[in-house]
Structure formats: structure tokens, C-alpha cells
Structure 1
Amino acid sequence: MDLMGRDSILQLRDMLQAAEPQDDSSDEELTSHQPMAKMGPADVGPKKKAEKSALPPTAPKPPTKDIWDEEEVATGAEYEDVLDPRPQPEYDVVFKQAVTSEDMFLQMGNKNLSSASCEDMVVKIKLPGHKSSEVELDVTDKFLDCRTPKYKLGLHLPHPVDSKNGRAQWVQDQEMLVVTLRMVRDLDFINF
């Protein structure tokens, strides 16, 4: 049950070629009138930008056995442990700003009620049944890691902070760790 034999296909090809207008136009004219006529798989997608030869060549990186570049690894990924059964403690992130009488009563400064006017970020971590000596705290610019024998907290911070100049305080009667971190933002010179 062959619908079309070889001869039928060849005749159909000849008929379609005869139906096309035969003129001696060049390929450039064909592509200007029919842009899809000369398109191939490499033409799909955005065009690659030509590299500038004026830039000095960069030194090749020394070969390493690293699987990922440093930029590809999410900040704090080294602290995430899926197999660790310790629960996450209760915590709260609060923004804090220094308000003077000029800001409050005279409204002479640029401060407002939004978090954009806040200078510090305060992370309050409740650790019931612990002492300050049992708490391990590690803070980077974008990640806070707090571990105790019963709890584990890996917190991606909402804003970059100055990790070198932070403060941590243990509140004994509430069994709470209070970490105060100075936020570092690009447009702070406008807000303050």
C-alpha cells in the first residue's frame, strides 16, 4: 500500500520546480524578499556579539579540580546540611534606625518609617535550654550560621551586612541571642 511511489514523488518535484518563477536573480535578492529562505539552525536565537580585539588578553586561570566557580555557589551553601536532624529555632529579624530629636520632632532629616532609613539589622534567636558557651555563631556578609547542640539556623540575610563589625549579646533571662549587624547598601548616602 504505497501511497506515492518513487516516480510520483519525482514528478511532483518537477511540477513544483516548474511552478516557481525562473529568473536570474542573485541569492542576495532572494534573501531580501524572503528572509526565511536562507535560514539555518545557527540563525535561531540571539546573535553573538563580536569580540573586541582591542582588549588585552586575560591571563589563563590555573587549572584546578573545582567543579564550580566561586560565583556559581550560593552564599551559605557550605552550611546547609540536609541530613542534620536538628530543628530550626524561632528567630525574628528586626530593622533598627537611630532617631534623634531632629528626626522625630523637627523632621529635619531624610529619615522616614521605611526600612530604607534603617542602619542596623537585629536578628533575635530564641535558644531555650542553652547557655552562651554552647552557641557557635558565624556571620558572613550575606549569611548567618548559628548552631547549638539542639538547634541549627542557617539564615540568608535580606541585605548585605558588615560582618567584621557586628555585635552579639546573650540575654540570659530570655535565653535569646541578639545579633546586631550594620547594613551595607549602595544608596546609603542618599538615605542618611
Structure 2
Amino acid sequence: MDSISWGSSLQFLAKLLSDSQEDDDDSADHVPHCSVSTMTPGSIGPAKRETTDTVQVKSENSKAIWNAEEVSEGAEFEDIWDPREQPEYEILFKQCVGTEDVFFGMSRKDPSTACCEDIVVKIKLPETKYADITLNIQDKVLDLRTPQKKLLLHLPYRVDSRNGKARFLSEEETLEVTLRVSREFDFINFA
């Protein structure tokens, strides 16, 4: 049986992996040999030196209080003081498949959302008229406002905000919004 415990072997390993400069002097930075409780995973390897270099960030507008990258998309629509309630909604994914996809598996499509071409958002709007609905769609945000309801929905995928379709089903009191998903590499996935 070895007389060296596992804790002291970690200390020896930390000492071996530390810089050679630390071996010469007996400063307080050395790993103590008496207790294992001061040993952390960060103690193994060369000691990290603090840098005092400051990075100057160049601002496009010196009077701006934040950068555009710091504000998430759709943040301008969020209003926590708005008393209107959020309507019930459902997100569905839709894809165009043919017999070559279903029976033969000739294309690269599968039932996952990564292979879907459209996002369908069904929003229940009871006691609402079509003329009272305001709908604003951006690349990643759907914003719906009515006199009684408000919905700010961050979409799971980037969509083509200019070529969407919306229809109001008055008998079901549901707004159905169909949006085309725009992915960067769709020409590879669906070729």
C-alpha cells in the first residue's frame, strides 16, 4: 500500500504542472501541503496572472446609452404594465411531403421541426372582431394586440416576415397565422 494519499498526490501534480518560477520562491501562492481542503480544480496547472489591460470599445454614437446588440429583438413591444391578458395560442409546424418522402424516404426530410417549412400559430380570440386585430410580425417576433388581449410571442425560428398569411376563422374565433421559416442553409437541407 502506498503511503501517499490521493489528496497529496493531487498537490504534487499541481506543483509539477505549475510554472518553474513558482518552484524557486516560497511565496504564499504555493499550494500548501498540509490540507486538502484548499485544493480546487483551478489549483492544477499554471497559475493565472491577472491582466490590467483595458479594452476600449468604440461606440458608433457617443451619446447612445446602449448598443443595438444589447437589446433583444422584440424588446420594444414588451410592456409589463399592460393589463390586457394573454390569449391562448398554439404553435404548429407544417411541412410539404409527398409519396417519395413518406414511403420511399428519398429526400432528407424527417418528422422533426428542423425539416418543417412553415410555422402555424393559432391564437384564440373570443369576442373579438377582425377589424380590432393589430398584427405585427418581425423576423423572430409576433406581436398581436386587440382591445382585450395582447400577445408578444418570440418565435422558435427566424421567419420571412414579409410573406406570411393570416386568416380569421370567425366561427372558431381563432386567428391562424402561417409564416414561412427562413433558415440559412435550407438550400442544402431541402435540395
Q: Given the two structures, how large is their TM-score scaled by the length of structure 2?
A: 0.70
Change (3 A) 1:68 1:173: same
> Structure 2 matches for 1:72-151, cutoff 5 A?
72-151=70-149
CA deviation after TM superposition for structure 1 residue 176, in Å: 0.8
CA deviation after TM superposition for structure 1 residue 38, in Å: 10
Q: Tell me whether 1:174 sits opposite 2:172 in the alignment.
A: yes
> Structure 2 matches for 1:17-32, cutoff 5 A?
31=21
CA deviation after TM superposition for structure 1 residue 98, in Å: 0.5
Q: Given the two structures, how large is their TM-score scaled by the length of structure 1?
A: 0.70
Alignment equivalent of 2:49, drawn from 18, 43, 52: 43
Contact 1:86 1:150 in 2 (8 A): yes
CA deviation after TM superposition for structure 1 residue 173, in Å: 0.9
Change (3 A) 1:67 1:171: same
Change (3 A) 1:148 1:38: same
Change (3 A) 1:35 1:100: farther
Output the aligned Cα RMSD: 3.0
CA deviation after TM superposition for structure 1 residue 43, in Å: 2.3
Give aligned pairs, total. Answer: 153
CA deviation after TM superposition for structure 1 residue 37, in Å: 4.7
Match of 2:23 in 1: 33
The answer for unaligned runs of 5 or more in structure 1 is: 1-29, 52-58
CA deviation after TM superposition for structure 1 residue 101, in Å: 2.1
Q: Which deviations, in whole Å up to 9, do the C-alpha atoms of 1:25-52 show, x marking residues without a partner?
A: xxxxx8353488598xx923xx699x9x
Change (3 A) 1:145 1:60: closer
Match of 1:183 in 2: 181
Match of 1:63 in 2: 62
Change (3 A) 1:63 1:112: same
The answer for unaligned runs of 5 or more in structure 2 is: 1-19, 30-47
SS at match of 2:103: helix
CA deviation after TM superposition for structure 1 residue 185, in Å: 1.8
Distance 2:140 2:154 in 1: 6
SS at match of 1:78: helix
Contact 1:79 1:154 in 2 (8 A): yes
CA deviation after TM superposition for structure 1 residue 143, in Å: 0.6
**% identity of equivalent residues:** 47
Distance 1:122 1:148 in 2: 19
Change (3 A) 1:33 1:101: same
